Amino acid sequence: MFSKSVTAALSSGSMIRAMFEQGAQLKAKYGADNVYDFALGNPDPEPDPEVIDDIRRLAAEPGIHKYMANAGFSDVRARVADYMKAQSGRAFTADDIVMVVGAAAGLSVTFHSLLDPGDEVIVLAPYFMEYNSYVGNQGGTVKPVKTLPDTFRPDIPAIRAAIGPRTKAIILNSPNNPSGAVYPEEDLLALRDALADAEAEFGTPVYVVSDEPYVKIVYDGVEVPSVARIFQNSIVVNSFSKSLALPGERIGYVAVNPDLPDKELLEAALIYSNRTLGFVNAPALFQKAIVDHLDRSVGLDAYRERRDMLYAIVTAAGFECLKPQGAFYLFPKCPIPDDKRFAEVALKHRTIVVAGSGFCYPGYFRLAYCVSKETILNSAEAFNKIYREFGT
């Protein structure tokens, strides 16, 4: 009666959401303080007071709530272009920027503009599996390629081998959800060579779609290399969900590389897609609210402290884990290969984790550490007990 594909998707569900539901049940039973819920990547700090002040002031500005051009306010697009130019050294202008309803919509608009049915998009596992929908909704299919174990760096020969005549794009997400890895410049340069090689073989470009909502959330002085600088055929998708802690307000942008061949056509396609997918335009108030805060990142010190605390706890318990350089997730190795069973055992200890299978990388589990310090500190005994359950 209803859509077959949607009803089928409903029954398979999202692992992250499933853990969220389980967490709610456990909290109802034992009290929130007695449950260690590391399931959801919901930014924890409140937005900065300066941003809140701007939101208040802007809400009363005459005319701000009206319809506008589908690409967004031209002054906002010009400021985002200046920011992208400073980051990448490429000559971005307002024409290269489309304001969108968060990165999720930005990716949907991008793939609606790029893909024909049957096209393939390479994704680097572990990855945010909502990509399957953003690509699948447009008739494309994702082709996962595993990153290297333990470092989660791209496996360039494996990527090259996965590219075929129908490969239209590759998604990069660095800093990465769920591994926290930041891909170093040398990997991106090697990837650029591999893509050039594949393009020569198949006679068609492979676009680099860079999903960057965590680009500002990095630690220990790590620099995230600019994808827009390195790759000419790149499309950057970014949002203010994490950097400004505004995930509920749905605001972001898509930036088309100014040196991408036929960029005018792609930009027209993005604007058309933004309109006809029903987004129409990004929220007016929040386009204006972010514009003076493009460089800001809220809560970085708190995230770093929590990363260090949780990393110390899980490694002291015995788990192997990469110390993440960015984002707000830890991705430790399970002591047994079956990560779903591991997540069930963790639940017995009132600890909610997401199995790596939920990111197409079994054998690991994700912990979102955007939770209170108390939750992290109180979880230490639970992690010790969980590890001991496996006799190691």
Ligand X SMILES: Cc1ncc(COP(=O)(O)O)c(C=O)c1O
Which residues of this chain interact with ligand X, rule CB under 6 A? 41, 102-104, 128, 173, 177, 211, 213, 239, 241, 247, 252
Q: Which is nearer to ligand X, 90 or 242 (CB)?
A: 242
Q: Which is nearer to ligand X, 279 or 383 (CB)?
A: 279
Q: Which is nearer to ligand X, 239 or 379 (CB)?
A: 239
Q: Which is nearer to ligand X, 36 or 131 (CB)?
A: 131
Q: Which is nearer to ligand X, 26 or 237 (CB)?
A: 237
In the complex, the smallest distance separating the C-beta of residue 318 from ligand X, rounded to whole angstroms, is 28
Q: Which is nearer to ligand X, 331 or 383 (CB)?
A: 331
Q: Which is nearer to ligand X, 20 or 202 (CB)?
A: 20
Name the burial class of residue 12, with classes exposed (0-12), middle (13-18) and buried (19+) by CB atoms within 10 angstroms of its CB. exposed
In the complex, the smallest distance separating the C-beta of residue 188 from ligand X, rounded to whole angstroms, is 17
In contact, 137 and 119? CB cutoff 8 Å: no
Q: Which is nearer to ligand X, 124 or 345 (CB)?
A: 124
In the complex, the smallest distance separating the C-beta of residue 366 from ligand X, rounded to whole angstroms, is 11
In the complex, the smallest distance separating the C-beta of residue 130 from ligand X, rounded to whole angstroms, is 7
Closest CA to 379 of 24, 22, 33: 33
Cα diameter, the chain: 66
In the complex, the smallest distance separating the C-beta of residue 103 from ligand X, rounded to whole angstroms, is 3
In the complex, the smallest distance separating the C-beta of residue 127 from ligand X, rounded to whole angstroms, is 8
Strand partners, 254: 98, 237
In contact, 327 and 339? CB cutoff 8 Å: no
In contact, 78 and 89? CB cutoff 8 Å: no
Structural tokens at position 308: 């260090």
Parallel, antiparallel, or unpaired: how do β-strands 97-100 and 252-256 relate? antiparallel
In whole angstroms, what is the distance from residue 364 CA to residue 322 CA? 11
Q: Which is nearer to ligand X, 369 or 383 (CB)?
A: 369
In the complex, the smallest distance separating the C-beta of residue 348 from ligand X, rounded to whole angstroms, is 27
In this structure, how many other beta carbons lie within 10 angstroms of the beta carbon of residue 161? 12
In the complex, the smallest distance separating the C-beta of residue 230 from ligand X, rounded to whole angstroms, is 19
In the complex, the smallest distance separating the C-beta of residue 247 from ligand X, rounded to whole angstroms, is 5
